[in-house]
Amino acid sequence: MVGPDILHRRPVAAGAGIGLLATLITWFVAVGIVNDLTTSFPALDIQAATGLLAVVVLLVVMNWFFHKVYWGGWIALHNRRKRDLLKDADSPEASGRRLLWGMGLLGFSSLYREGFEVVLFLQSYRLRLGGAIVLEGVLLGLLFTAIVAALTFIAHRRLPYRRMLVFTGVLLGVVLLVMVGEEAQEMQLAHWLPTTNINWLAHIPAWLGVWFSVFPTVETLSAQGVAALFIVGSYWLVRLPAWRQQCQVECAAEPTSTDGQKHCTPLCVSATVCQPLKVADAIRRR
């Protein structure tokens, strides 16, 4: 006797399989389009354009990650859709075919959205490094993904998902800095950006450029600096509501002073929620 959970997993798995096949088709279509463009435009311009597209895709991914639009919105949408389908399946007038199609589309959209991003993301690396190296990286990524899937769905192991998400966020930040440095250099080679050398950094080790795209030019280092500010700013912007809530709790716990008002501790600096303690008052209390 096959349980209902197994019956619901099969169309999801089938939809995910179709999504994987659609991702492969999208890859070959994208490769064909990029190859056709290389016959009409200089190769350096195509590399710079595809690299810029990859940076934009990564910025979108990081925006989803840091602002929880992906984790709190996209996944919640799929979970809500799954619950609705399962609830409809319990009603006597529900159609079994509609449930199968719904579960299949759920699996397809979950995988193909990720696959479409990866296809766009890897085009610049394919142009610069070749398809063989990209294929090796993709296979390695699929191996680790299969290990996580086996531990989660087959072995039913509870993994440290929060730590994994934190580690993923750190990796995304490092990848963004590397890609921005690479893209700035490619735009310099395509003469889209000027090249202003920094003489006192001319003797930095070559491996910094190979592995981390750190080049002794004003344009590349400035671009990476802006990217770093984006990463830090995104983190602070996400954490600000939690800090404000904590500040409000601290303010509520503070005793009322002689002037009839509550003052925050010096560490609570959110003026939009609570009234900051004056520096002179803080020194006097100490």
Instruction: Supply the mean pLDDT for the chain.
Output: 77
Quote the CA–CA distance of 86 and 167 in Å, as a whole number. Answer: 34
Residue 88 CB-density burial (10 A; 0-12 exposed, 13-18 middle, 19+ buried): middle
Q: Rounded to whole angstroms, how far apart are CA atoms 176 and 96?
A: 45
The pTM assigned to this predicted structure is: 0.69
Neighbour tally for 51: CB within 10 Å? 24
Task: Fill in the DSSP letter of residue 197.
Answer: B
Q: Which residues contact 96 (CB under 8 A, 6 or more apart)?
A: 89
Among 34-43, 182-191, 252-261, the range of highest mean pLDDT: 182-191
pLDDT in tens, 28-53: 999 999 888 888 888 888 888 888 88
**Angle (deg, nearest 10), helices 161-189 and 43-66:** 150
